[in-house]
Structure 1
């Protein structure tokens, strides 16, 4: 059953009414209310288009964090053939917040890396709510090095509120692991593409997104800090998160305008959580197009373009 966000209450009421009508038809009695159901379905579509056409930055945050948006493992299943998961950092740990392996995207061998949040209590605990520890970033580095050796493009799927902030992670070198991951991506001699599929939070996201091409789903977010964190620092009041979300310019259109990302992928009406198969198909098409472009470039060109891209960020044009 689809979970509704607060601003979707008008849609929820309409869809609940449709469900009631369909149950009446199922129960029998010779009632023909197909016209009424069709009329209400049209209203739902119209209402969703109106709501999602004018989402505020804070509402985009809520959509990006929706528990039913497709996650990295679903993208792997939907887009790849011959997927083989690879585990561990070869130093004794296997962080489940970052998952990855090798597979084929439309026949092309690729390395994939993603952050996985989980959908229920058990899987969220297993994947640490999508918040990697140093071992996760070292696993990512191992996969990037593997991709370089075998000349395989790298695709990352980012959905994390940030790196795990616990004392245990800091004691094992969290900051160094993130920095090394960024460096590893920057020097990869193969095409690299990052897709922000939900929440791209802080250095925990950048560690997997220092790539030739950075794409975002239409209702995803990408920011140096979570709105709640920014509000706590700036106003000492996490309740100001909606104000912080506006100031952070964390939506896909804002980031495209600022040239911090390269492409926005349109989502189905009502967000990827409503029609995950359609959303994942759109991501697959965009990945194919980007790979067709990037695989035409020599390794030296890929490296220099990637370097110049990130060095130019923040400069006035």
Structure 2
């Protein structure tokens, strides 16, 4: 288990607990009482730390190396029913953007999402979850196929942004994202977007125009990352904590500002601490949300979706 800087008190207690248990196992000394006390202290410390997380600490949790990624969710939720589909039928197959058909129970969905890697090799293969134009065009192709066969769309958002390289711009990165936004706003099937990690900039919006936006508890959603914001305003990354607070990028902030529709509760310590429970919660939430959306006609879906996004950012003094 890897620990973040603010989790070090938990790590120290966990090491003491394991050491005490080892002493009990290797000798005749009864350490049952000590182990129970340490267990309680670990639980109390976790509750104290995780109930008072800052915006920057939630950003750190969203990037935790053990946190599940898009394919983990899809494979856990769909099992053997998932069929991955490839290519944009124009340029190539972007490995940072994955998609395909799968089932939750007896209901089929078109799943689309950004995929990150777990080590140096897979991170390069997945381009760190930063999609090229062909990734967004592949996503749009799959969405249009879903619309043709009246299949609801589920998108998993987890990206530090769209790939900003020269070759991506040459192939029309901005146009691809803009096209997705306008096409998703008019798609005549239910769209459920789930932010499972980082939701940054246009890279997230390119698959993030949904009838319902769900956000896991320890994720963030913003026009810019705290580090980039800090480097623009202060010419340094040193003020990233201040930027994170100012950007109002946490799930609670997004819900209060009416940008998202629901916060999905995570296990204590984050999604990586109990992945199976997280998968089950996400699957149940998707099923429940689709149950609400399927009652609407295609015309009502589009009208409500358009109204939802038109109203974002509107306020009165």
Establish whether TM, by shorter chain, passes 0.5: yes
Please tell me whether residue 184 in structure 1 is matched to residue 183 in structure 2: yes
Once the two structures are superposed, residues 189-217 of structure 1 have per-residue CA deviations (whole angstroms, 9 ceiling, x without a partner) of: 10100000011010000111100000100
In 1, the alpha carbon distance for the partners of 2:172 and 2:313 equals 28
Please tell me whether residue 301 in structure 1 is matched to residue 300 in structure 2: yes
Once the two structures are superposed, residues 257-308 of structure 1 have per-residue CA deviations (whole angstroms, 9 ceiling, x without a partner) of: 0000000011111111211111121111111110110011100011011100
In 2, the alpha carbon distance for the partners of 1:98 and 1:91 equals 15
In 2, the alpha carbon distance for the partners of 1:93 and 1:23 equals 54
Please tell me whether residue 254 in structure 1 is matched to residue 253 in structure 2: yes
In 2, the alpha carbon distance for the partners of 1:59 and 1:172 equals 36
In 1, the alpha carbon distance for the partners of 2:22 and 2:72 equals 31
In structure 2, the partner of 1:110 is 109
In structure 2, the partner of 1:129 is 128
Q: CA deviation at 1:234?
A: 1.5
In 2, the alpha carbon distance for the partners of 1:116 and 1:42 equals 37
Once the two structures are superposed, residues 122-181 of structure 1 have per-residue CA deviations (whole angstroms, 9 ceiling, x without a partner) of: 111111110101111011001100110010000011110000111111111110111111
Match of 2:60 among 45, 59, 62: 62
Q: CA deviation at 1:24?
A: 3.1
In 1, the alpha carbon distance for the partners of 2:184 and 2:20 equals 53
In structure 1, the partner of 2:27 is 29
Q: CA deviation at 1:10?
A: 0.4
Q: Write the mapping of 1:1-317 to structure 2, written as runs, cut at 5 A.
A: 2-26=1-25, 28-81=26-79, 82-317=81-316
How well do the aligned residues superpose, as a CA RMSD in angstroms?
A: 1.1
Instruction: Tell me if the contact between 1:199 and 1:220 (Cα under 8 Å) persists in the aligned partners.
Output: yes
Instruction: Tell me if the contact between 1:89 and 1:135 (Cα under 8 Å) persists in the aligned partners.
Output: yes
Structure 2: tracts of 5 or more residues without a match: none
In 2, the alpha carbon distance for the partners of 1:185 and 1:20 equals 54
Q: CA deviation at 1:118?
A: 1.0
Instruction: Tell me if the contact between 1:144 and 1:184 (Cα under 8 Å) persists in the aligned partners.
Output: no
In 1, the alpha carbon distance for the partners of 2:237 and 2:151 equals 43
Equivalent residues, number: 315
Q: CA deviation at 1:25?
A: 4.0
In 2, the alpha carbon distance for the partners of 1:147 and 1:85 equals 14
Instruction: Tell me if the contact between 1:25 and 1:31 (Cα under 8 Å) persists in the aligned partners.
Output: yes
Q: TM-score, normalised by structure 1?
A: 0.97
Q: TM-score, normalised by structure 2?
A: 0.97
In 1, the alpha carbon distance for the partners of 2:42 and 2:197 equals 24
In 1, the alpha carbon distance for the partners of 2:177 and 2:32 equals 56
Q: Aligned with 2:271: secondary structure?
A: coil
Q: CA deviation at 1:31?
A: 3.4
Q: Aligned with 1:156: secondary structure?
A: strand
